[in-house]
Each structure stands twice: as structure tokens, then as C-alpha cells.
């Protein structure tokens, strides 16, 4: 019997202009949890997509259980007993758990009807055996995200997968759900399954994995025995230099209240309230963080502050002035700088030049345009040059660079530069570092703290709990559109916030602000 469930040798995959995988070797032993670690863009997902048959590699060989295979499609992969749990679930919301699981290979009764009863029985058995505690008859829309993920796991177990690939499975989970997931992974391993865990979170690797393969910029950096490596060493392998995780910052000196949100209700895209009677305060000179799992009203909260979504009821007071129903333009002029969560959708006009993007919010004012409506390109370029220097934005052709040709980190720096430069009373930053590498993250965190120290009020919304804990002076946990509680950073830890994010007010001394 071969020792390796998977052996990938010399895998190379080239996308236009980018070598996503460059001669990568990757092997996983039968019955282990093997972590695949790397920053965004390191080539982890590409490598696993090749294994799962989503991409064809340009060169290299793949052996599954010692036998060389060509995997041309996910169906081939399924036949070989390889299953993948994607970051974004592929479930039909108004179907039951069982209906979702059997979709595509429904068992039939003698008369040709779908035999749901026998399918339900088998789902229940699998759920029992691996400790997933999923009810086969629940509808997807009525169960939690963590539970939906287990349905995805059941889906591939139902198809007899022996090798399970998890693509960043913890990104959508609360800390408690993460712990439960890691337990499930161990249980699956104990039952003889082989697991590949794609992640950039070191704690999860330390907790669950036995070995770890590290990729950086498409190349293999090394394979380490997790027990023998510290988190710092893993981080260094991933980034290529030593990194500090703690942001050193002076204690906040909060002043007057700048932003007061009172009993805010916002209707979300599904027509039901996404933000429900939310209240929150941000004072000058402090960073307040909104912690929560994706989809609990954060996006709608940001959109309501920006003026992109109408406010159904409640008030948004900036220094006492109610802006809940003000035009977007008025909010910008009142001094709200806002870094949107999706920099490609809202933050930038990708086909515009960098200098045009940096003037996107104030091109209509002096000095960028004169009173007859003509633009002053020299002033726009000069302003851009200043921000480029001040914020260390790296762009190939300076102010004239097309935004689309810049790296994600530099695009984000550009958006942050523009918003800070608008001299806002209030800086709202949604997902400040999503998809960025460690260097850019450190820089952006630093700039946010600098703004705080200059006496600005800062509101940070993030799904990354580490980021919230690191950056913020006060932390508001949000669940189902409500602030469950607000903690001082000193009394906050992952457990308590996690419990609040799950909707439990039991963060004990939590105060409603």
C-alpha cells in the first residue's frame, strides 16, 4: 500500500503574465491532516484546483494512491475519491440538507421517483459517524453558516471521498465554529480520511495539522513538521522575512463623541432588515471595531453611513448633525471618509488613472476644477504625486498608472490615502486589509493608528477577529444586525467576542453603548 495519498511533482501552471505554480512538489500521506500555507496569491488555491480538476497544469504529474492520473474535471476527481469544500458554498437555499446532498445522483425507487427516504437514512448515518450533528431534513436557509459547511462536507462524504480538500474553511466561521470544525477534521482523520487544509491562519495549523507545505509566490518554500515549528517560523517561511504580529500603539485618548448612531434600521438586499435598531458611538481619538461574521449587517451598516442604502429609521449623527437622509455628496463634505469593503466595486474606477482615482471624490472642487467646469489636470497630478509620496503607493508609471494595473495592496493604499486626505472628522474603514499581504497589512494598520493619534474618530469593520483585537480600542460585536455588546479592548478576548458574535449577550459585563 502506498504511503502517499497524493503526490504532485513539478506542477507548473501559468496564467497570463503570472506563474501561479512554478515546479511545485506536494505530497500528502494517507490519513494525515496536511496544511497548505501561503499568502494571498501564493498559488495555494491554484495547486488544489489542479488536483481537483478545475485547471489543467502546464507541466507536472499527479499520482493518486501511487498511480499516475490525469484529472481533467471535478468529475474525474470525484471518481478518484477526491472532494473539495469550497470557500463559497454551493448549496440550493430552499432545498433540504438531503436534497442538496443527493443533487446530481439522486437514488431512485422502483417507480423512478427520487428515493429521499433512503438518502436521508444514509445522510443521518454519515452525520452520526463523523460527529457532524446535521439534521437531514433541515432547510439550508434555516441553518447556520457553520452547519452549511458541514452539509458541504457531507456532500463529498456521500460521494465516497477519501481525500478531502478544504479551501480556507474558517474564513466564514466564528471562533467557536472554528474550534468545532477543527474537531471535525480530526475526527475525519481518525476515521481514516486524508485531509488537505488550505489556510493562512497559523493557529489552525498548529492545532490540527501534522505537516505543512509552505508556498510563496508560486514556489515551494518547504515542508515542515508542524510539531517542530513555531508560529513565528511558519510566518517567516510564508512571508519571507520576520514579521511582528503585535501592533505597538499608545493608549487611546478619546475626546468628544464624533459619530453617534441611534437605533438605526436598514433594509438589506433581501427586503428584510439587515441592520436592526443598531446603536453605536465613536469618539475622537479612538478606534472602534465592529466584529462579526460575514453577513450580519456589516455591509449594510457601511452602506448606510456612506449613503448608498436608504435608512429606514434611526439617526446617524456626525457631531450632532443628522446625516441619515443626507445626499452622498453632503456626507463627503461633512467630513466622512469611507474606505469601502470592496475596493474594486466601490473604491476605484479601475480603468481610470491613479491620479483621477485620487481625485474621485473632490474633482468638482477647486483646485481640481475651476468655476467654469474645466478640470485642472496639473493640479490633479500634483495632488496625486503628494499622496503617492506620503502613503508610499507603488505604481509603475506614477500618477498616470491605470488603477487596474496596480497590486491589491497599492490599490488599497490609494483608497486609504484618498479618504484620509479628505480630512474627515470620521474615518470608516471596512475590511481594511482583505486580500493583502503581510507587509501591506502592517503598513495600513500603522496608518489607521496614526489617524487615531491625530485625534480622528475611526470606525473599523472587519471579519478578521485578529485584526479587530489588534487595532481597536473598543470593540462592538455585531450579530443579526444588532450590536450585542461593546467591550474595552483590555477586557476583550477571542472567546468573549466570539460568544457575542454568535449572538450571546453573555459577554457578561458587556455594555450597550
Partner 1 sequence: MRASRDAPLQDRILDTFTSSDGLVSVAVVLLGFLMGTLLVALVGRNPAGMYSAIVQVVSGWDLRRGIWNARYIGEWLVMSIPLVLCGLSVAFAGRTGLFNIGAEGQYVVGLTAAQFVALFAPHTAGLHWVLAILAAVAAGALWGGIVGALKARYSVSEVVATIMMNYIAYFSSRVLTQLIPGANTYRTPTFPDTARLDSPFLQALTNGSRLNYGLWLAVASVLFFWVVIGKTRLGFSLRATGLNKDAARYGGINVTASVTTAMAISGAFAGLAGAVVSLGSFSYGRVLGGLDGYGFDGIAVALVGNSTALGTALAGLLFGMLKSAQPLMQSRQIPKEIASIIMGLVVVFISLRAGVRMLVEWRMKELARKGRTIE
Q: Which is nearer to partner 1, 199 or 357 (CB)?
A: 357
Q: Which is nearer to partner 1, 211 or 434 (CB)?
A: 434
- Choose which of 9, 14, 124, 379 interacts with partner 1 (CB under 8 A): 14
**Does residue 348 belong to the site contacting partner 1 (CB under 8 A)?**
yes
**Contact present, 414 and 348 (Cβ < 8 Å):** yes
- Choose which of 350, 379, 469, 504 interacts with partner 1 (CB under 8 A): 350
**Does residue 356 belong to the site contacting partner 1 (CB under 8 A)?**
yes
**Does residue 18 belong to the site contacting partner 1 (CB under 8 A)?**
yes
Q: Which is nearer to partner 1, 117 or 364 (CB)?
A: 364
**Does residue 22 belong to the site contacting partner 1 (CB under 8 A)?**
yes
Instruction: Give the binding range for partner 1 (CB under 8 A) out of 205-213, 348-356, 382-390, 455-463.
Output: 348-356
Give DSSP secondary structure letters for 260-315. EEEEEEEE-TTSSEEEEEEEEEEETT-EEEEE--TTSSHHHHHHHHHTSS-EEEEE
- Give the burial string for 448-479 (b: 16+ CB within 10 Å, else e): bbebbeeebbbbbbbbbbebbbbbbbbbbbbb
Instruction: Give the binding range for partner 1 (CB under 8 A) out of 26-34, 113-121, 355-363, 385-393.
Output: 355-363
DSSP annotation of 373 reads S
Task: Return the bridge partners of 63, or none.
Answer: 7, 68
Nearest Cα neighbor of 52 from 41, 64, 60, 39 is: 64
Q: Which is nearer to partner 1, 156 or 339 (CB)?
A: 339
Cis geometry, peptide bond prior to residue 218 (ω within 30 degrees of 0) = no
Min dist CB 438 to partner 1, Å, is 17
Cell numbers that stand for 378 in this block: 496639473
- Choose which of 63, 159, 217, 276 interacts with partner 1 (CB under 8 A): 217
Ranges within 404-433 binding partner 1 (CB under 8 A):
407
Instruction: Give the binding range for partner 1 (CB under 8 A) out of 177-185, 317-325, 353-361, 384-392.
Output: 353-361
Contact map string, positions 35 to 54, toward partner 1, x by CB under 8 A: --------------------
What is the C-alpha to C-alpha distance for residues 397 and 141, in angstroms, rounded to an integer?
Answer: 48
**Does residue 328 belong to the site contacting partner 1 (CB under 8 A)?**
yes
Min dist CB 419 to partner 1, Å, is 11
**Contact present, 147 and 140 (Cβ < 8 Å):** no
Nearest Cα neighbor of 251 from 452, 424, 427, 442 is: 452
Task: Return the bridge partners of 62, or none.
Answer: 8, 69
- Choose which of 2, 15, 67, 269 interacts with partner 1 (CB under 8 A): 15
- Choose which of 221, 257, 306, 379 interacts with partner 1 (CB under 8 A): 306
> How crowded is the C-beta side of 349, counted as CA atoms within 13 Å?
11
**Contact present, 206 and 222 (Cβ < 8 Å):** no
- Choose which of 4, 30, 54, 58 interacts with partner 1 (CB under 8 A): 58
**Does residue 325 belong to the site contacting partner 1 (CB under 8 A)?**
no
- Choose which of 30, 143, 360, 504 interacts with partner 1 (CB under 8 A): 360
**Contact present, 117 and 96 (Cβ < 8 Å):** no
Cell numbers that stand for 354 in this block: 491613479
Min dist CB 374 to partner 1, Å, is 6
What is the C-alpha to C-alpha distance for residues 192 and 185, in angstroms, rounded to an integer?
Answer: 11
Contacts of 121 (CB under 8 A, 6+ apart): none
- Choose which of 375, 379, 469, 504 interacts with partner 1 (CB under 8 A): 375
Report the greatest alpha carbon distance in the chain: 80
CA distances from 184 to 48, 149, 258, 384, 438 (A): 21, 11, 45, 51, 29
**Does residue 214 belong to the site contacting partner 1 (CB under 8 A)?**
no
Cell numbers that stand for 478 in this block: 455585531
Min dist CB 411 to partner 1, Å, is 12
Min dist CB 461 to partner 1, Å, is 15
**Does residue 511 belong to the site contacting partner 1 (CB under 8 A)?**
no
**Contact present, 376 and 363 (Cβ < 8 Å):** no
- Choose which of 70, 93, 329, 511 interacts with partner 1 (CB under 8 A): 329
Min dist CB 54 to partner 1, Å, is 18
Binders of partner 1: how many residues, by CB under 8 A?
Answer: 36
Cell numbers that stand for 34 in this block: 496536511
- Choose which of 92, 103, 105, 364 interacts with partner 1 (CB under 8 A): 364
What is the C-alpha to C-alpha distance for residues 50 and 293, in angstroms, rounded to an integer?
Answer: 30
Pairing, β 67-69 against β 474-479: unpaired
Min dist CB 381 to partner 1, Å, is 14
Which residues contact partner 1 by CB under 8 A? 14-19, 22, 58, 217-218, 306, 308, 327-329, 332, 338, 340, 345-352, 356, 360-361, 363-364, 369, 373-375, 407
Amino acid at each position: 500500500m502506498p504511503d502517499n495519498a497524493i503526490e504532485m511533482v513539478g506542477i507548473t501552471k501559468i496564467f497570463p503574465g503570472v506563474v501561479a505554480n512554478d515546479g511545485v512538489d506536494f505530497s500528502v500521506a494517507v490519513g494525515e491532516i496536511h496544511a497548505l500555507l501561503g499568502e494571498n496569491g501564493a498559488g495555494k488555491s491554484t495547486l488544489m484546483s489542479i488536483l481537483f480538476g478545475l485547471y489543467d497544469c502546464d507541466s507536472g504529474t499527479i499520482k493518486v494512491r501511487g498511480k499516475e492520473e490525469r484529472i481533467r474535471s471535478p468529475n474525474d476527481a470525484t471518481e478518484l475519491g477526491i472532494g473539495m469544500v469550497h470557500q463559497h458554498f454551493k448549496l440550493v437555499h430552499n432545498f433540504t440538507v438531503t436534497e442538496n446532498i443527493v443533487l446530481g445522483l439522486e437514488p431512485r425507487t422502483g417507480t423512478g421517483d427520487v428515493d429521499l427516504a433512503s438518502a436521508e437514512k444514509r445522510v443521518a448515518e454519515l452525520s452520526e459517524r463523523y460527529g457532524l450533528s446535521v439534521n437531514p431534513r433541515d432547510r439550508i436557509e434555516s441553518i447556520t453558516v457553520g452547519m452549511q459547511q458541514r452539509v458541504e462536507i457531507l456532500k463529498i462524504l456521500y460521494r465516497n471521498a477519501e481525500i478531502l480538500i478544504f479551501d480556507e474553511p474558517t474564513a466564514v466561521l466564528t471562533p467557536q465554529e472554528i474550534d468545532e470544525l477543527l474537531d471535525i477534521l480530526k475526527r475525519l482523520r481518525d476515521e481514516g480520511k486524508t485531509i488537505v487544509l488550505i489556510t493562512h491562519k497559523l493557529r489552525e495549523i498548529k492545532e490540527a495539522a501534522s505537516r505543512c507545505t509552505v508556498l510563496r509566490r508560486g514556489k515551494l518554500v518547504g515542508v515542515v513538521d508542524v510539531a517542530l515549528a513555531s508560529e513565528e517560523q511558519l510566518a517567516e517561511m510564508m512571508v519571507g522575512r520576520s514579521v511582528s504580529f503585535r501592533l505597538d500603539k499608545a493608549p487611546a485618548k478619546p475626546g468628544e463623541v464624533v459619530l453617534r448612531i441611534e437605533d438605526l434600521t436598514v433594509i438589506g438586499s433581501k427586503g428584510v432588515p439587515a441592520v436592526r435598531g443598531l446603536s453605536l458611538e465613536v469618539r475622537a481619538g479612538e478606534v472602534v471595531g465592529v466584529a462579526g461574521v460575514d453577513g450580519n449587517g456589516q455591509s449594510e451598516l457601511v452602506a448606510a453611513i456612506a449613503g448608498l442604502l436608504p435608512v429606514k429609521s434611526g439617526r446617524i449623527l456626525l457631531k450632532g448633525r443628522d446625516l441619515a437622509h443626507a445626499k452622498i455628496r453632503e456626507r463627503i463634505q461633512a467630513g466622512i471618509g469611507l474606505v469601502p469593503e470592496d475596493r474594486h466595486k466601490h473604491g476605484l474606477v479601475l480603468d481610470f488613472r491613479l491620479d483621477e482615482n485620487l481625485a474621485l471624490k473632490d474633482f468638482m472642487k477647486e483646485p481640481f476644477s475651476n468655476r467654469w467646469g474645466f478640470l485642472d489636470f496639473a493640479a490633479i497630478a500634483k495632488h496625486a504625486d503628494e499622496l503617492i509620496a506620503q502613503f508610499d503607493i507603488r505604481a509603475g508609471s506614477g500618477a498616470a498608472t491605470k488603477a487596474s494595473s496596480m497590486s491589491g495592496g497599492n490599490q488599497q493604499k490609494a483608497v486609504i490615502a484618498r479618504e484620509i486626505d479628505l480630512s474627515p472628522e470620521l474615518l470608516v474603514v471596512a475590511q481594511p486589509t482583505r486580500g493583502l499581504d503581510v507587509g501591506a497589512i502592517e503598513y495600513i494598520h500603522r496608518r489607521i493608528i496614526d489617524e487615531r493619534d491625530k485625534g480622528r474618530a475611526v470606525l473599523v469593520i472587519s471579519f478578521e477577529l485578529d485584526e479587530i483585537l489588534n487595532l481597536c480600542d473598543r470593540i462592538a460585536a455585531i450579530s443579526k444586525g444588532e450590536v450585542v455588546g461593546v467591550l474595552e479592548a483590555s477586557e476583550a478576548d477571542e472567546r468573549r467576542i466570539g460568544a457575542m458574535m454568535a449572538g450571546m449577550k453573555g459577554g457578561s459585563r458587556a455594555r450597550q453603548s
